[in-house]
Amino acid sequence: MTQTYTHSPRPIGSPITFTIKGDRLIVDTGRKVHEVQLGAVEAVRMTYEPGRVGQKAFRTRVVMKDGKAFNFSSLNWKSLVEAQEMTAEYRAFAESLCTAIAKANPQARFIAGKPWWLWATTFVVAVASLLAMAVLIWRAAQMGSMAVALLGAAFAFVGVWQIEPMIRLNKPRPFRAGELPNELMPKVG
């Protein structure tokens, strides 16, 4: 069975096509064609990548035993300002790729979320920032500066709204190839 996924990972540049052919993955960047032996995959990492307001992006990173890696995401950039969410296509390709990797290399690791050190750093900075905003709001209210307190509350709300899913969804954890983390996959429908 052949499964293909094509997307433009950046606003400027050519699209990249990934094609699964048995125990191989063909990566066509438009300038060069690479053939990847899926048995040489060491790890697959799926993450949530915050995008523009109202647009979620999900990324799959495949790391080979020799240290080389490649990524593909659920966004297809059409121009500098327009990106299309590739919901069904990304889900189908990610599932097929993980299944093919597990079949070619049963020792491959499947990881959801960011590396522990990055996730913990993001968590600590987010909590510290939220506490600093709470102190700002409290001190502004004490001093009778309600405009500053309301502005601080608005910034805190926007910060929590943007950072909370990044922390919640990217908590590191293993998963099985046949049971991809649904929260790290775009929602169909």
Q: At 49, which CATH number?
A: 2.30.29.30
Q: pTM surpassing 0.85?
A: no
- How crowded is residue 36: how many other Cβ atoms within 10 Å of its Cβ? 19
pLDDT of the residue at 55: 65
User: Residue 88 falls within a domain, yes or no?
Assistant: yes
Q: In terms of domains, do 100 and 14 share one? A: yes
pLDDT of the residue at 51: 65
Interatomic CA distance for residues 40 and 105, integer angstroms:
7
Q: What is the 3-state secondary structure (H, E, C) of the chain?
A: CEEEEEECCCCCCCCEEEEEECCEEEEECCCCEEEEEHHHEEEEEEEEEECCCCCEEEEEEEEECCCCEEEEECEEECCCCCEEECHHHHHHHHHHHHHHHHHHCCCCEEEECCCHHHHHHHHHHHHHHHHHHHHHHHHHHHCCCHHHHHHHHHHHHHHHHHHHHHHHHCCCEECECCECCHHHCCCCC
Q: In terms of domains, do 177 and 144 share one? A: no
User: Residue 61 falls within a domain, yes or no?
Assistant: yes
Place of tokens 């909590």: 127
pLDDT of the residue at 96: 93
Q: In terms of domains, do 62 and 95 share one? A: yes
Q: Give the pair of three-digit tokens for residue 92.
A: 């189908």
pLDDT digits (tens, 9 = 90+) for 140-187: 989 888 898 888 889 888 888 888 888 999 999 999 988 899 888 887
User: Residue 189 falls within a domain, yes or no?
Assistant: no
User: Residue 41 falls within a domain, yes or no?
Assistant: yes
Q: In terms of domains, do 148 and 180 share one? A: no
pLDDT of the residue at 1: 60
User: Residue 149 falls within a domain, yes or no?
Assistant: yes
Q: Which residues of the chain have pLDDT under 50?
A: none
pLDDT of the residue at 189: 67
Q: In terms of domains, do 132 and 108 share one? A: no
Q: In terms of domains, do 71 and 30 share one? A: yes
Q: In terms of domains, do 18 and 95 share one? A: yes
pLDDT of the residue at 54: 53
How many separate domains does the chain show? 2
User: Residue 20 falls within a domain, yes or no?
Assistant: yes
β-pairing verdict for 56-64 and 41-50: antiparallel
Q: In terms of domains, do 53 and 107 share one? A: yes
Domain containing 129 equals: 116-166
